[in-house]
Structure formats: C-alpha cells, structure tokens
Amino acid sequence: MINISSKTILNYSVKFYFLVFFSYLFLPLIVVSFAAFNDNKIPTIFPWNGFTLDWIIAFFNDSKLMYSILNSTIIGFGVVILAIPLGLAGALFLLSIDSKARHIFYSILVSPILTPGVIIGIATLVMWNAILDVSGGILLTIIGQTTFVAAMAMLLFMSRLQKFDKNLELAALDLGATPAQLFFRVTIPFLKPTIYSATALAFLQSIQNYNTTLFLIGTKSTITMHIGSMVKLGLTPVLNVLALIIIVLTIVFSIVYVLKKRKENK
C-alpha cells in the first residue's frame, strides 16, 4: 500500500485546483484569440481552415463598429469626468457628517448601485425629457451611467479615506495651509492610487453597460449595442478580433502598471 501523507495530498489538491481554476479563466481567452486568425466564417477554432489576417482587416474596415467604439469611448471619458469628482465629493461628505445621519445619506447615495439598470435608464430618459426636453443620445447616456458609476467610485474613496490619518490634516493646518492647499497637497496625493482605480472602474463600467445605455443612447450605437445586434444577425470572427484587442490592451496596461508600481516602491 502506498503511504502518502496528508500534506502531500493537500499540496497536490491545491495544485490541481489552481490548474482547473486558471484553465477555466484563460482557456476561453486563448480560444477566442486563435479564432481571430482562423479562415472560417464561424467564430471558432474548429475546424481550422488555415491562418488569415482577413478578419483583422475586416475589423478596421467595419465603419459601424468603429463608430460604436468611438461613441463608447466618448461616453466612457464623459462618465469618468463626472463620476470621479462626484464620487469623491460623496465620500468626503459622508465621512464628515454625524454617524446617525451618515447611515441615511449612505443608503440614498448607494441606492443607484442596487437599482436595476433598466429602471435607471427609463427614469433618466423620462425626467430629463420632461424637464429640459433632452432626448436620447450621448449626453443623456453619460448622465444616466454616472448615477451608478459615481456611487461605485464613492465606495472606493470611502474605503481609502477611512485609512487617512487625521493628524496630517491638523499638522497642515497648523503650518498655515488653507483648505484648498490641504485638499490638493495632502488629500489628493493620499487618494492618488484610488483615483487611478476609480477611473479605470468608471471607464470599464461605462464601456460594458448595456441595460441603462439601451434606453438612453437613442438612434446612436455603442460597442455593447453593436455586439448585441451582431448576436441577432449572426456572429463573425470580427468579434474575436475585438476580444483579442481588448485582451492585448489589458495585458499591456497591466504590465505597465506593475512596472510603474515596482519603480515607485524602490
């Protein structure tokens, strides 16, 4: 009988778990990437009909897809510009008021995250159309998405601010700093990592949003709307090219971030 210790069984079990876990995560990405180069009208690697770059060329020649990517990018930057200051303002406000009132305002400010995107989209369209006669479009989409993205950013800022040493504020004020100098020279540098994280979160949440955007974008199109229409009409490997580009950009930005983080820690 083979004598195997419990520690050995645990080690092999953990290794097997990580193998299955990372295979589950990365295998679909690998399949999608290779399918972008398969000379097959169906977005798959089986059967493999040969290597081709035609789908990459078709991707950049698809004017509707390029237009939807441009719209998504504009909306994403617009959401970032609005959501980050609003989220920071909400976090500073909540941490500065009485603890009893804080729970009430916290529930109000977080409620957009818990509200279905369909409801936010319809409510935003009806309200702004009734008040200012604003119809669907890029501007209204930015406003609608900002309502819940700002709440997400606020939670990130609150988590960071709870670790802030108040003695730094007192020391700055004792040295003659004005409230504006305190904010820009003490608070903002402390929040810089969170600002980067919140900016990335806001942009990505905007890009991938579908439910709210569906009711607010009007006659225009975003990347999620375009992909939705492609699903209805029939998928092509052009979608695999889009996925491949997103994967490559994610890897590049991750590497740049890690290298920059290591450089800052030296």
d(C-alpha 100, C-alpha 46), whole Å: 61
pLDDT, mean of residues 104-132: 89
The answer to whether residue 51 is domain-embedded is: no
The answer to whether residue 265 is domain-embedded is: no
253 confidence band (pLDDT: 50, 70, 90): confident
Q: What is the pLDDT of residues 208-223, one digit of tens each?
A: 999 999 999 988 899 9
* Contact indicator for 238, 91 with CB cutoff of 8 Å: no
The answer to whether residue 204 is domain-embedded is: yes
Closest CA to 75 of 220, 243, 248: 220
The pTM assigned to this predicted structure is 0.86
Judge whether residue 46 has pLDDT over 90: no
Q: List the domain range (segments joined by +) for residue 188.
A: 62-235
- Give me the CATH number covering residue 137: 1.10.3720.10
The answer to whether residue 187 is domain-embedded is: yes
Judge whether residue 1 has pLDDT over 60: no
What sections of the chain are H helices per DSSP?
6-35, 54-61, 63-94, 99-114, 117-132, 138-161, 166-174, 179-182, 188-208, 211-216, 223-233, 238-265
Judge whether residue 119 has pLDDT over 90: yes
**Phi, psi (rounded to 5 degrees) for 162:** -65, -15
Model pLDDT, residue 4: 73
pLDDT, mean of residues 155-175: 87
pLDDT, mean of residues 67-90: 96
Place of tokens 């695999």: 240
The answer to whether residue 138 is domain-embedded is: yes
Model pLDDT, residue 2: 60
The answer to whether residue 81 is domain-embedded is: yes
Which residues make Cβ contacts (< 8 Å) with residue 109, sequence separation at least 6?
Answer: 90, 94, 151, 154
How far is the CA of 28 from the CAs of 182, 201, 207, 247, 251, in angstroms? 48, 23, 21, 11, 16
Domain count, the chain: 1
Model pLDDT, residue 263: 78
**Phi, psi (rounded to 5 degrees) for 51:** -80, 140
Q: Is 80 left (phi over 0), alpha (psi -120 to 50) or beta?
A: alpha
Model pLDDT, residue 103: 86
171 confidence band (pLDDT: 50, 70, 90): confident
The answer to whether residue 257 is domain-embedded is: no
141 confidence band (pLDDT: 50, 70, 90): very high
The answer to whether residue 87 is domain-embedded is: yes
16 confidence band (pLDDT: 50, 70, 90): very high
